[in-house]
Amino acid sequence: MKLEMPDNNAENLVEAAKRLVEISSRHIITEIYGKPTKNSYMGSGRTNIFADDMTRADMAKRVESFRELGIGYNYTINGIVPRARILENREKIVEELKWLETSPIRKITVANYELARLAEKYCPSVAVVVSFFTEVDSKEKVRQWAKLSNVKTIITATSTYRNLSLLKELVAVGKEYGVGIGLIANLGCMAECARKEEHAIIKDMASINSSALHYGACTFYCMRYLLDNPEKFLQLPLIRPEDLDAYDKIGIEIIKLVDRVQTTEWIERVVGYYLKGAYDGNILDLTCNFSRFNLKKHSNAEVAGIDMAETMQSKKGVLGYREMLPELLSVSIDHSHDLLSCSNRCDSCSGCKNPSAVSYDEERRITVLKQLDRLENEYLFS
């Protein structure tokens, strides 16, 4: 299976990639995605937090560094807002697309149709990947995107990831147009979320100016919802390293691994597990939302002792609480749980009610739910 790893813009990621490509595996890293250059008129879905924004010249050098390792670069401009519709942005966006045409970057990810069409005109030799933000979840949506001459890959909606029969159909339609189907293995977001579009917009906004937002984190809602309904952790559209072969067998072109906001150590560790095709721990630790790899452990007494009034005095305090929230939740999914045993279509099946597959401390759960309720009422929505 072809794998795509995230670029966190850190200098030491190139060395980590060198170590990763040396791992003996039937899977292979073929691409890396990111946008280390400055976002000012076009969003990228993430902010650059591990280094200063790169110039285009430095970006080209970074692309070449990965190319020397056999890894192509996917320039990720997947903000969901069609900012080229804004006249003061349009000329600058067209200019950036023209630069891409002359650069060593041969692939971009977009999340709105207008940008894909502009890329078709101004950087026609650059392949387009359709972002999962576009929610492609049917054969008809695959056809609509695949008809664009520059679209070569479609990352489908998270709601499709556990439905292998549907994915096989989407793969077949894509092949009719010479378009591959890709998925994200370890996002950790709910497939059915009431705030999905809102959060996609917030991520776009934050990638340009996060300091202007009331708060930047998009995940308080889903983390609180899942903690309130723990069996729904089993419905997350996750792909275990052990399950990569099942997706390869049905013709999935590439599996994307997240996240660009993680440390190089974290990225190397997680990508390594997928390359090896095995991880015998809690699958949630491989996700960007629920990983506890880099977090300080908390006892129940320490969790209960968190001063929420002090936390809510500043945005920094709130974001700090968000960073340690996976450890506070302390939820685990049994490694033996077969995520592919259901298609995530839950009309009639009650299999996710199995209490033995997801584990948590009830006392801790009640404590954190009260903290999150207070955070919502006194800060997030006050």
For residue 299, being part of any structural domain is answered with no
309 token code pair: 């009034």
195-199 long-range contacts, Cβ below 8 Å, gap at least 24? 195/221, 195/222, 196/135, 197/80
Asked if 297 and 361 count as a contact pair (C-beta separation under 8 A), the reply is no
139 token code pair: 């054969």
For residue 325, being part of any structural domain is answered with no
165 token code pair: 């029969």
For residue 338, being part of any structural domain is answered with no
Query: Can you give the pLDDT of all 382 residues of the chain as single tens digits?
Result: 999 999 999 999 999 999 999 999 999 999 999 999 999 999 887 776 667 789 999 999 999 999 999 999 999 999 999 999 999 999 999 999 999 999 999 999 999 999 999 999 999 999 999 999 999 999 999 999 999 999 999 999 999 999 999 999 999 999 999 999 999 999 999 999 999 999 999 889 988 888 888 887 789 999 999 999 999 999 999 999 999 999 999 999 999 999 999 999 999 999 999 999 999 999 999 999 999 998 999 999 999 999 999 999 999 999 999 999 999 999 999 999 999 987 766 655 555 665 689 999 999 999 999 999 999 999 999 9
The Cα-based distances of 110 to 54, 128, 132 in angstroms read 20, 7, 9
For residue 367, being part of any structural domain is answered with no
End-to-end CA distance of the chain: 47
- Indicate the SS3 state at residue 251: coil
Q: How many domains does the chain have?
A: 1
**250-286 core/surface letters (b: 16 or more CB in 10 A; e: else):** eebbbbbbbbbebbbebbbbbbbbbbebebeebbbbb
Kindly report the pTM of this predicted structure.
Answer: 0.95
89: buried, middle or exposed (CB in 10 Å: 19+, 13-18, 0-12)? middle
199 token code pair: 């959060």
- Residue linked to tokens 């968190």: 306
**Helix axis angle, 362-375 relative to 220-228, nearest 10°?**
140
For residue 23, being part of any structural domain is answered with yes
Torsion angles phi and psi, residue 211, rounded to 5: -65, -20
138: left (phi over 0), alpha (psi -120 to 50) or beta: beta
Distance, in Å, from the CA atom of 112 to the CA atom of 375, rounded to the nearest integer, reads 33
For residue 251, being part of any structural domain is answered with yes
**Could you tell me which residues come within 8 angstroms of residue 79 by beta carbon, excluding any fewer than 6 positions away?**
39, 42, 43, 44, 45, 111, 112, 203, 204, 207, 208
For residue 68, being part of any structural domain is answered with yes
> Residue 214: its pLDDT value, please?
86
348: buried, middle or exposed (CB in 10 Å: 19+, 13-18, 0-12)? exposed
Neighbour count for residue 87 (Cβ, 10 Å): 7
Q: Check which CATH number belongs to the domain holding 110 and give it.
A: 3.20.20.70
Structural domain of 170: 2-207+236-281
Q: Which amino acid is at 133?
A: F
- Residue linked to tokens 């452990």: 297
For residue 321, being part of any structural domain is answered with no
> Residue 45: its pLDDT value, please?
79
